[in-house]
Amino acid sequence: MDLEYFKQWVYKEFRINLYAYKPNQLHRRILSLMSRVGVKSVDEYINLLKRDDGQRQKFLDFITINVSEFFRNPEIFEDLRNKIKIELLSKNRNLKIWSAACSIGAEPYSIAMILDEIAPMGKHTIIATDIDNTILEKAKKGIYNISEIKNVKKTQIDKYFEKQGEQYVLDKKIKDMVTFKKHDLILDRYDIGFDLIICRNVVIYFNQDVKDEIYKKFGASLKKDGLLFVGATESIYNYKEFGFDKSSTFIYRKL
Ligand SMILES: C[S@@+](CC[C@H](N)C(=O)[O-])C[C@H]1O[C@@H](n2cnc3c(N)ncnc32)[C@H](O)[C@@H]1O
């Protein structure tokens, strides 16, 4: 099946670079999606995507995989909280933070809660980005279900959420700490001067060259001694190449 042609079409149509993804995994997933929607060829699938907005959204959701939750891997977030306190706030009262590929906003809002708890007087900037506009709209609303907040402590739920039916609505003060923007990690330019960059559970889908390029750009975006927080399956083996030192298994310090 001609997936090369499909990738070119997807780039032209959606400005999404599927060449950056690990090919075997991506091809398997696209074929399984096509069989799920009942099409047998790439041409047939392209025609379907051209005329059916629902299918277009389904395809984008499938590519972007935006599962997330607050304090994903709580023990690693605890490590991050300590490092923010000991390594970052000891030098700088006002932090500039980037949550890249932030999905539903659970990640930048987790950071906002931590800062509200340990450094409420600071004037912090938290920028949260994702390639997917639909998910950014959900993130801005700040409304979650019980499974998305399962790692939030009872005291934090009481303090930062209001229960409305089955949903949990995040407090305006925490929402106002985060600015959401659309950003593609592969195609867009990176801002600079960050104390902390969080990028978790997205580079696993990219090939090694693209991953290396992203880590190199994160290195350039961080201040000296700034921290990069990665996902729980994403330790960077060649971190020295990008000018990092290891702070802990999933946290790297810019030299
Ligand atoms: C599995 S979620 C991870 C969410 C969160 N970081 C976490 O760990 O819980 C992956 C997110 O990456 C986003 N994404 C995929 N490709 C991207 C790209 N090229 N640039 C920016 N975000 C991207 C998706 O839209 C999705 O929201």
- Measured from the Cα of 187, ligand 1's closest atom is 19
Helix and strand totals (H; E) in the chain: 10, 10
> Average pLDDT of 157-179?
98
Token pair of 187, please? 């195609």
- pLDDT tens digits for range 51-87: 998 899 889 888 878 889 999 999 999 999 999 999 9
What spacing in Å lies between the alpha carbon of 70 and ligand 1's midpoint? Answer: 14
Q: What is the reported pLDDT for 176?
A: 98
Count Cβ neighbours within 10 Å for each residue of 50-62 and write b for 16 or more, e otherwise: eeeeebeeebbee
> Average pLDDT of 160-177?
97
Residue owning the nearest CA to atom 24 of ligand 1: 64
> Average pLDDT of 193-214?
95
DSSP 174-225: HHTTEEEEE--TTTSPPP--EEEEEE-SSGGGB-HHHHHHHHHHHHHHEEEE
Residue owning the nearest CA to atom 17 of ligand 1: 131
Instruction: Return mean pLDDT, the chain.
Output: 94
Pocket residue to mutate for ligand 1, from 102, 135, 202, 217, most atoms within 8 A of Cβ:
202
What spacing in Å lies between the alpha carbon of 65 and ligand 1's midpoint? Answer: 7
Q: Per-residue confidence at 205, pLDDT binned at 50, 70, 90?
A: confident
d(CA 251, CA 81): 11
Q: What is the reported pLDDT for 241?
A: 95
- Measured from the Cα of 132, ligand 1's closest atom is 25
Helix 42-51, helix 53-64: angle, nearest 10 = 110
What spacing in Å lies between the alpha carbon of 121 and ligand 1's midpoint? Answer: 30
Q: Within a 10 A sphere around the Cβ of 117, how many other Cβ atoms?
A: 14
What spacing in Å lies between the alpha carbon of 90 and ligand 1's midpoint? Answer: 30
> Average pLDDT of 120-126?
96
What spacing in Å lies between the alpha carbon of 20 and ligand 1's midpoint? Answer: 14
> Average pLDDT of 196-203?
96
- 46 touches 39 (CB < 8 A): no
Ligand 1 pocket, residues with Cβ under 6 angstroms: 64-68, 72, 101-103, 107, 130-132, 135, 184-186, 200-202, 231
Q: Is the pTM of this model over 0.85?
A: yes
Token pair of 31, please? 């074929």
> Average pLDDT of 174-200?
97
Q: What is the reported pLDDT for 101?
A: 97
104 half-sphere exposure, CB direction, 13 A CA radius:
18
What spacing in Å lies between the alpha carbon of 54 and ligand 1's midpoint? Answer: 21
Pocket residue to mutate for ligand 1, from 26, 104, 130, most atoms within 8 A of Cβ:
130
Pocket residue to mutate for ligand 1, from 58, 61, 103, most atoms within 8 A of Cβ:
103
- Residue in the structure block whose two tokens are 């390594």: 87
65: left (phi over 0), alpha (psi -120 to 50) or beta: left
d(CA 238, CA 218): 14
Q: What is the reported pLDDT for 233?
A: 85
Residues 6+ apart with CB under 8 A from 147: 69
d(CA 234, CA 137): 27
- 77 touches 110 (CB < 8 A): yes
Q: What is the reported pLDDT for 1?
A: 67
Residues 6+ apart with CB under 8 A from 61: 134
